[in-house]
Amino acid sequence: MVNAFYDFAGELRRLEQDNLYRRRRVVDGPQDIKLNADGRQLINFCSNDYLGLANHPEVKAAFKAGVDSYGVGSGSAHLICGHSNAHHALEEELAAFTGRDRALLFSTGYMANLGVISALLGRSDTVLEDRLNHASLLDGGLLSRARFQRYRHADVEDLQAKLSNAASKAMVVSDGVFSMDGDLAPLPAMVELAERHHAGLLVDDAHGFGVLGKNGGGVVEHFGLSQNQVPILIGTLGKAFGTFGAFVAGSEDLIEMLIQKARSYVFTTALPAAVAEATRASLRLLQVESWRREQLQNLIGRFRQGAQQQGLELMDSFTAIQPVLIGDSGQTVAASQRLLEQGFWVSAIRPPTVPAGSARLRITFSANHTEQQVDALLAALAKAFS
């Protein structure tokens, strides 16, 4: 007898009909500007490797040396026997980099967000989240079982109203740089509000670290915000750092609390020590090679100017994320396909990643792109929309 539980065909057909079906392309070779995928070479405008460190010789050498020193697997969770001096040194370096007392490594940004929010909030509390927060922040809020409220995107007045009505212990949670829009959270005003209402403030700066701030310190460096002002700061290592993993930075007590209570920290295997060694190398490069940020800003400016001349609908972003808003999912997939035919890989972002009716091309830049490649993308976009 057929078990109806496993009858997924209808739902899959519906996703296909709604232009929401997702497919993977198989990449052959390292992450870089030129990617070999499905048997052809494409210019990559969709990765989060904003500084071009994922395939950097020094990062790779550090990774290989890490394997020689530590092997591959870390053997267990940090609290058992998986916490090596490579992890420990990286945590100390991340704390110094962010100007925080301490930092704590997590295996992924998704797990950091689930673990931190659910460790700090419970059933009788309130979590206030920007409507456009990354899925992992929303999922963390839901997992915590706190009263879950979303405020309008980057809307300080709406946040203030919701904070005023929060009867219980509350925490405000936001992306620093919004992952699908590229704009910044209005952090100075949010800091002031959180302080006034005695609420917690968590900022996930997955897309700001490495890109924003003179030293790559991200959105908090950009706005000059200290540990007292943004007490819970999260970064991911798989984007501008070019490696893998994530960290939380904050006070001594915050980190100790997370070591005790964050279930996605306690109950999982530590990331490989060699990845920590690779990240130590990329952290050094990210700080000293400020030309990467300058090159990125130059390319972003060039793209925005060219796109505006073409009448493309850009968003309020000066970061490496430069979406072109289209709206309809089918048209967005078609535009992405037309770019692909011209040799450019730009992802079509559709609901539920973004709100219904706001599908877009998410174009991302890397310090390793050339001006010629940006100009060629602009020409391809003109053709794709003609």
What gap in Å lies between CA 209 and CA 187, rounded to an integer?
Answer: 15
The residue length of the chain stands at 386
153 is in an annotated binding site: no
What gap in Å lies between CA 15 and CA 9, rounded to an integer?
Answer: 10
Asked whether 35 and 42 are in contact (CB, 8 A), the reply is: yes
Q: Least distance from C-beta 361 to ligand PLP, angstroms?
A: 17
Q: Which of 236, 268, 347, 368 binds ligand PLP (CB under 6 A)?
A: 236
Does 204 bind ligand PLP (CB under 6 A)? Our answer is yes
Q: Least distance from C-beta 176 to ligand PLP, angstroms?
A: 8
Q: Least distance from C-beta 44 to ligand PLP, angstroms?
A: 17
279 is in an annotated binding site: no
Q: Which of 110, 209, 265, 345 binds ligand PLP (CB under 6 A)?
A: 110
Does 129 bind ligand PLP (CB under 6 A)? Our answer is no
22 is in an annotated binding site: yes
Question: Helix count (H) and strand count (E) of the chain?
Answer: 14, 13
Question: What is the SS3 assignment for 224?
Answer: coil
Instruction: Please choose, from the candidates 64, 90, 69, the residue with its C-alpha nearest in 3D space to the C-alpha of residue 78.
Output: 90
Q: Give me 345's structure tokens.
A: 């890989």
One character per residue 309-348, x = contact with ligand PLP (rule: CB under 6 A): ----------------------------------------
Residue 198 annotated to the active site: no
Asked whether 127 and 159 are in contact (CB, 8 A), the reply is: no
Apex 186 CA angle, 250 and 148, nearest 5 = 70
Asked whether 292 and 367 are in contact (CB, 8 A), the reply is: yes
Q: Least distance from C-beta 204 to ligand PLP, angstroms?
A: 5
Count CA atoms within 13 Å of residue 382 on its CB side: 12
Residue 207 annotated to the active site: yes
Does 295 bind ligand PLP (CB under 6 A)? Our answer is no
What gap in Å lies between CA 219 and CA 97, rounded to an integer?
Answer: 13
236 is in an annotated binding site: yes
Does 246 bind ligand PLP (CB under 6 A)? Our answer is yes
Considering beta carbons, is residue 109 or 323 the nearer one to ligand PLP? 109
DSSP conformational letter for 102:
E
- The stretch near ligand PLP (CB under 6 A) out of 62-70, 108-116, 285-293, 330-338 is 108-116
Does 136 bind ligand PLP (CB under 6 A)? Our answer is yes
Considering beta carbons, is residue 176 or 373 the nearer one to ligand PLP? 176
Measured N-to-C along each axis, helices 109-120 and 135-144 cross at an angle, to the nearest 10 degrees, of 30
Q: Which residues pair with 203 in a beta bridge?
A: 174, 233
Residue 239 annotated to the active site: yes
Q: Least distance from C-beta 241 to ligand PLP, angstroms?
A: 10
- The stretch near ligand PLP (CB under 6 A) out of 121-129, 199-207, 320-328, 334-342 is 199-207
What gap in Å lies between CA 90 and CA 87, rounded to an integer?
Answer: 5
Residues within the interface to ligand PLP (CB under 6 A): 108-110, 113, 134, 136, 175, 179, 204, 206-207, 236, 238, 246
Show binding-site residues for substrate. Answer: 22, 134, 353
